[in-house]
Amino acid sequence: MTRIDDALAVTLNGLAAEDALVVAFSGGLDSTVLLHAAWRWSQTHRRRLRAMHINHQLQPAAADFQQQAEQICRALPIDCQSIKVKVIDEGEGIEAAARKARYHALAEHTQPDECIVLAHHADDQIETFLLQLFRGAGLKGLSAMPTEQIKLQRLFLRPLLTLSRAELEQYATEHQLRWIDDPTNADLRFRRNWLRQQLLPMLRQHYPGIDQALARVVEHCQQAQSLIDELAESDLAAVQRTEKTLSISRLLSLSAARQSALLRYWLSEQQQRVPNQQRLQDFLAQLSNATDRTECCYDGICLRVAGDALLQVPENWFRPIAEQHWQTDTPLFLESIQSTLQWRGMNNPEQPLRVSSLPSMSTKLSLAGESHRRTLKYLMQQLAVPVWLRAAWPCVWHGEQLLTLPGLLVTAEGERFLAEHQGEIILTGPIADCWQALQTPDALS
């Protein structure tokens, strides 16, 4: 048994008997050592094991690397699935964009009973810590990489974090392994490469024990972050209204530091990115005088307000609906709000219905069972529908008669029409889910 075998045993022996392993396999030294050691472990413990190679298509040799990785797997033999991804840099840098595409591909092409095993080692951990330090990260960033992590609804494992690259090289030599040397690892334009090849050698020359010292710092950061998460988890139980919403008044009763920690924890638990510290602080400062127009939008996510409720929704869910006609014998998918209208009933209308965004807020309506007419604005206010949700709610018409805002209200004309056709109109999707979350009674009230 080598130290690498021992490290794998510490992480993998605790898995459930039905769990299988998927090794993220680039074909480089680190993942080749991991794959070989994991294969040995799987043989002893009779576990399913396969490899997955992510082809980022970022260099001319990418196809050759994929072929070599597949050859290495066949020699063991281990099944290897190669996935090509398209890396889109949205301003975070090509390294971060490639990492994002890689993690999504790994999660998308694995099953819930498969654990994804990554080859990060102690040197990678130190590099990650320094990169986070230089960008001014908080404790969570300085905690670098955890051994176990739930991400994108998959379990990611890093069993080699306590081992140095030198130990991996020794293992590869002893077992006569062959691997791929990626020339981009020598490209100093990438910050991690510069740090690895220029900064760290200088630091080690002047501070011989710096690797061990930085490893201790990472461990201290992880312990401190764990304590913060435990407190945030306790606060969340007291502040959460429903599964998807927080109480703003109870959130504001906490200290500023606990407010920030709670929001970060809440978003992380929902597998969402967290806004930077300044944006988060500015948003929290606005909450004491919040209206339903108060929001914090970043990276495609919006934190939105509805009365005392705070919830997070994708930014692009709530867009105006292009007017269209609907033959009710088939469901109508509304792409702009990622929602579906469905007719349920005995008799489908012969003529298509019309679907649109809300008319003018001054439009007057008579609701089902009522004779008097009230403005749409008044009705929205009475229902406490936040402004940001109103703008995207679909309206269903028969000719010039407004029948219903499905899930919100039915007009007097709509009641007659639906009764005549013995039907109802159902809205499903994120709009309806969001409204349901706001209507669910506060669990702590």
Compute φ and ψ for 32, nearest 5 degrees. Answer: -70, -45
For residue 205, the tally of other CB atoms under 10 A from its CB is: 9
DSSP 186: G
Domain endpoint, select from 142, 174, 203: 203
Q: Is residue 212 part of a domain?
A: no
Are 241 and 193 contained in the same domain?
no
Contacts of residue 406, defined as CB under 8 A and 6 or more positions apart, other chains included, come to 341, 394, 396, 425, 426, 427, 432
CATH number at residue 57: 3.40.50.620
3-state DSSP percent of the chain in helix, strand and coil, to 5: 45, 20, 35
pLDDT score recorded for residue 445: 56
Provide the residue range defining the domain that includes 36: 3-203
Q: Where are the beta strands (DSSP E) in 16-74?
A: 20-24, 49-55
Are 235 and 302 contained in the same domain?
yes
Q: How far apart are CA 126 and CA 140, in angstroms?
A: 15
Are 44 and 167 contained in the same domain?
yes
Q: Is residue 444 part of a domain?
A: no
Are 186 and 229 contained in the same domain?
no
Closest CA to 161 of 129, 125, 200, 133: 125
Q: What sign results for the dihedral spanned by CA atoms 171, 173, 175, 178?
A: positive
Provide the token pair at 442: 């506060």
27 among annotated binding-site residues:
yes
28 among annotated binding-site residues:
yes
Domain endpoint, select from 289, 314, 339: 314
Are 160 and 231 contained in the same domain?
no
Are 157 and 264 contained in the same domain?
no
Q: Is residue 337 part of a domain?
A: yes
Domain endpoint, select from 175, 203, 231: 203
Strand partners, 365: 374
Q: How far apart are CA 234 and CA 433, in angstroms?
A: 26
Q: Is residue 148 part of a domain?
A: yes
Are 11 and 157 contained in the same domain?
yes
113 among annotated binding-site residues:
no
pLDDT score recorded for residue 38: 97
Q: Is residue 213 part of a domain?
A: no
Q: Is residue 261 part of a domain?
A: yes
Are 60 and 10 contained in the same domain?
yes
Q: Is residue 143 part of a domain?
A: yes
pLDDT score recorded for residue 185: 84
Strand partners, 49: 21
For residue 52, the tally of other CB atoms under 10 A from its CB is: 22
Are 110 and 167 contained in the same domain?
yes
For residue 424, the tally of other CB atoms under 10 A from its CB is: 15
Q: Is residue 214 part of a domain?
A: no
Are β-strands 301-306 and 295-298 bridged in parallel, bridged antiparallel, or unpaired?
antiparallel
308 among annotated binding-site residues:
no
pLDDT block averages, 10 residues each, the chain of length 445: 92 92 97 97 94 95 95 94 93 86 96 97 96 93 95 95 96 95 86 93 94 96 97 96 90 96 92 87 93 88 90 78 92 91 90 92 89 91 89 91 94 93 92 85 63
The amino acid that residue 330 corresponds to is T
409 among annotated binding-site residues:
no
Are 11 and 128 contained in the same domain?
yes
Contacts of residue 193, defined as CB under 8 A and 6 or more positions apart, other chains included, come to 184, 185, 186, 187
407 among annotated binding-site residues:
no
Provide the token pair at 201: 């050698």
The amino acid that residue 388 corresponds to is W
| Count of the separate structural domains present in the chain | 3
CATH number at residue 296: 1.20.59.20
Closest CA to 27 of 178, 164, 161: 178
Q: What is the pLDDT of residues 307-341, one digit of tens each?
A: 899 998 877 766 778 899 999 999 999 988 889 99
Are 354 and 424 contained in the same domain?
yes
Are 192 and 224 contained in the same domain?
no
